Amino acid sequence: MTAAALVTAAKLSPGLDVLVIGAAGGVGSFVVQLAGARVIATGRAGDEPYLVGLGASLVLDHPQADIPEKVVALTEAEPTW
C-alpha cells in the first residue's frame, strides 16, 4: 500500500499543504484521497473534475503551469530550492 505509506511518512494533517504531481495516476489518486491536508494536484486540464471529486483543493495544468511559482504563491511559502 504505497499511497498509505507515503501519507503516513509525510505526517500529513489538516492545515498542511501537499503537492501531488501526477495526481490522476494510480498512486497519486490514492494520495489525494488519503492526504488529510489541502491538496494541490497536478494533472491535465481534463483531469480537474476527477481530481476535485477525489478531494483536491486545486488542480494545476501540469503541461501549462509554472508549478514552483504557482505553489509558492498559493501557499505563501518560502521556496527551498
pLDDT digits (tens, 9 = 90+) for 12-71: 888 888 999 999 999 899 999 999 889 999 998 899 999 999 999 999 998 877 888 888
Looking at residue 68, its pLDDT comes to: 86
- CB burial of residue 47 (10 Å; 0-12, 13-18, 19+): buried
* pLDDT, greater one: 53 or 74: 53
pLDDT(78) > 70: no
Looking at residue 80, its pLDDT comes to: 55
Looking at residue 65, its pLDDT comes to: 74
Which residues on neighbouring strands pair with residue 42, listed in sequence order? 60
Domain range 2-75, its CATH number among 3.40.1400.10, 3.40.50.150, 3.40.50.720, 3.30.540.10: 3.40.50.720
